[in-house]
Structure 1
Amino acid sequence: MTARIQLAIGIDEEASDVKITRSKDGDTSVAVFFFDSPNCMSGANAGNNEILGMYMIDEEGQMVTRNVNAKFINGKSAGIEAIHKLNGQSEWERFLRFMNRYAEANGMSLNKA
């Protein structure tokens, strides 16, 4: 199974950018995903898709965040931002495994600050 992200169930998305921060003690981390032109907001069925969260799906299962915000400029869609909070080492490690799979499947690479 290929790692994928969905904002509306059944519609795969490709993140335009992902920014990850981690506290110095490693207890909390935040990943912010940006989608410039999400598939769920374009095409004939754009108005019929229900965005209830961001679903990160791979062979280990599914991680979900409900912190998803649409951006609009002059009444037109300007993308979606999703924030995924991670607590503790085990959630961090699970997230990294997913991101490695997702990056490989979508030709993404890591750029350290």
Structure 2
Amino acid sequence: NVRLTRSRSGGTGTAKFTFQNPKALDSNSTAEITGMYMIDEEGEIITREVKGKFVNGRPEIIEAIYLIKSNEEWDRFMRFMNRYAKENDLGLSKSGR
């Protein structure tokens, strides 16, 4: 699940990713989570704002927040997301606001 927000001026925004029961938190996984890396033919988009949520001591959710600081970053992020959605047969739904 990805939720996007954008300022009225369009200059800043956020992308909040929520992963339910992610494989990265399996008991067999020993790798440290140091960030979220979105990689495509243009390069990498990286965020280090990644948090795990636990319920009754068990990992349930990973949340990552990517802060978008300019129109150029917004456009780059949207190009990545459009490619990702197309490759993974995903769609976009707009909020009722």
Q: Percent identity?
A: 48
The number of aligned residues is 95
Name which of 24, 32, 45 aligns with 1:63: 45
Distance between the aligned counterparts of 1:42 and 1:73, measured in 2? 14
Q: Does 1:103 align with 2:85?
A: yes
Q: Which runs of 5+ in 2 are unaligned?
A: none
- Using the TM superposition, give the Cα deviation of residue 73 of structure 1 relative to its aligned residue in structure 2, in angstroms: 0.4
Displacement of 1:43: 5.5
RMSD of equivalent CA atoms:
1.0
Match of 2:55 in 1: 73
Deviations 1:73-97 (A, max 9, x none): 0100111000000011110000000
Normalising by structure 1, report the TM-score: 0.81
Is residue 69 of structure 2 the alignment partner of residue 87 of structure 1? Answer: yes
Counterpart in the other structure of 2:22: 38
Deviation at 1:103, TM superposition (A): 0.8
Three-state SS of the structure 1 residue aligned to 2:18 is: strand
Unaligned runs of 5+ in 1: 1-16
What is the aligned counterpart of 2:10 among 26, 29, 39?
26
TM-score (norm 2): 0.93
Cα distance per residue 1:19-67 (max 9 Å; x no partner): 00000001111000011021211252x2x11100000000100010000
